[in-house]
């Protein structure tokens, strides 16, 4: 076992740098490099020591990431599995579940999605109607889930289903880790107003899940879901991510080639103009840059962006009030997005309704059409405000 949590920053930096300099080998296969990081506990240093981690804080993990990037090494897999499923396993999972799913996400490239929302339940997750019935050593799942990103590509889904119809709605739920690729599951893409189909509706027709893949106790699914929601809020903080590849990668490809692919994507993304720059261009084109009301709105956006950066920095260097930073960050992103969208469309005047090649900026119009999703995905703005009011500020519950 290792215990790096008591190391000072300088000692941790030296140790991480020494390890990455000695072990990074771009000729290794991507899968072999992931395995080496996991076995030596450098891939996910915030994970507990018994599960391929070092028990480090987010601030300490940032030091490790900086040294890895300085050496130029490929990072470990990122995404829902390491970011959201892992902390749920640490709190509710059995040793067998931790061993299988953590290793699968860290080394074998397993992809995971959430299967919580339903067409008739909306943000009221506790009103889930998907049915789970026990059948020997398995459960049979029937129902539907919606707004599931990546459901057509993942290996497993984190599924909330009702197992006791006589219990109050928060107490009759059970949380499952279900294999997605099986005959009883159908995934249908949902077309958005941007033209994309990034979300899906998933239909279950007597789909099977092993009793060994119930996360937490039977009927205690709401407690597991609350753990998920708490970590989902915090996942909007960049400090929660290890900085490696999102999505499925070719484990047989060399680690150096995988890193080059990721760097090319990052370079292409950075070459694209950011929303702030696109907004500045639209203001300039409109000739309203000297308008005091426009200048005031631009200043307000700058202040909001600065406050968001300071909030995220504070969460990395100090112990924030539990449950506060995630919802505040998410609400700030939603508010900043709406402000940018509204100002960009306003200064275009009648041209603001145009899209595609006719628009002054097709990239900005796409951003505007996509902007409502930021106030919905990961828990609606209303849910975030209720959480802050009730759980953080201690105000009376909403009737």
Best CA proximity match to 24, nearest among 40, 7, 45: 40
Calpha distance 89→174 (Å, rounded) = 15
Helices 58-71, 9-23: crossing angle, 10 deg rounding: 40
The SS3 assignment for 318 reads coil
**CA-to-CA dists, residue 143 to 106, 114, 168, angstroms:** 30, 15, 19
Return the structure tokens found at 57: 């804080």
Angle (CA) 336-337-340 rounded to 5° is 85
**CA-to-CA dists, residue 182 to 76, 104, 109, 168, 208, angstroms:** 28, 18, 19, 31, 8
Question: Catalytic one among 232, 257, 260, 357?
Answer: 232
The SS3 assignment for 133 reads strand
| Catalytic site includes residue 257 | no
Q: What is the largest CA-CA distance in the chain?
A: 72
Angle (CA) 149-153-155 rounded to 5° is 105
Calpha distance 242→61 (Å, rounded) = 8
Q: Which residues are catalytic?
A: 232
């Amino acid at each position: 076992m290792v215990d790096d949590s008591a190391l000072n920053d300088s000692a941790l930096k030296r140790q991480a740098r020494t390890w990455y300099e000695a072990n990074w080998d771009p000729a290794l296969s991507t899968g072999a490099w992931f395995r080496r990081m996991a076995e030596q506990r450098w891939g996910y240093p915030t994970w507990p020591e018994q599960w391929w981690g070092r028990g480090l804080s987010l601030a300490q993990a940032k030091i490790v990431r900086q040294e890895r990037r300085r050496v130029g090494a490929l990072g470990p897999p990122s995404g829902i599995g390491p970011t959201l499923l892992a902390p749920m396993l640490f709190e509710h999972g059995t040793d067998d579940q931790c061993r299988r799913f953590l290793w699968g996400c860290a080394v074998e490239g397993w992809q995971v999605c959430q299967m919580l929302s339903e067409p008739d339940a909306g943000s009221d997750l506790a009103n889930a109607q998907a049915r789970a019935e026990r059948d020997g050593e398995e459960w049979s799942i029937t129902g539907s889930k919606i707004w599931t990103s990546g459901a057509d590509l993942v290996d497993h889904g984190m599924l909330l289903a009702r197992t006791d119809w006589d219990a109050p709605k928060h107490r009759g739920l059970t949380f499952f880790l279900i294999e997605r690729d099986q005959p009883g599951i159908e995934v249908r893409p949902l077309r958005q107003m941007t033209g994309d189909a990034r979300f899906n509706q998933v239909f279950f027709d007597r789909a099977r899940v092993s009793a060994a893949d119930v996360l937490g106790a039977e009927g205690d699914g709401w407690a597991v879901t609350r753990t998920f929601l708490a970590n989902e809020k915090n996942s909007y903080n960049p400090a929660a991510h290890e900085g490696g590849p999102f999505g499925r990668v070719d484990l047989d490809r060399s680690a150096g080639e995988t890193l080059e692919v990721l760097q090319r994507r990052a370079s292409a993304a950075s070459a694209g103009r950011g929303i702030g720059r696109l907004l500045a261009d639209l203001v300039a084109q409109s000739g309203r840059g000297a308008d005091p009301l426009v200048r005031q709105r631009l200043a307000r956006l700058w202040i909001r962006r600065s406050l968001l950066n300071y909030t995220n920095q504070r969460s990395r260097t100090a112990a924030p009030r539990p449950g506060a930073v995630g919802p505040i960050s998410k609400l700030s992103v939603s508010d900043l997005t709406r402000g940018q969208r509204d100002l960009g469309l306003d200064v275009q005047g009648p041209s603001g309704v145009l899209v595609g090649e006719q628009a002054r900026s097709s990239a900005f119009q796409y951003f505007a059409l996509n902007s409502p999703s930021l106030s919905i995905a990961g828990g609606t703005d209303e849910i975030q405000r209720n959480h802050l009011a009730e759980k953080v500020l201690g105000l009376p519950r909403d009737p």
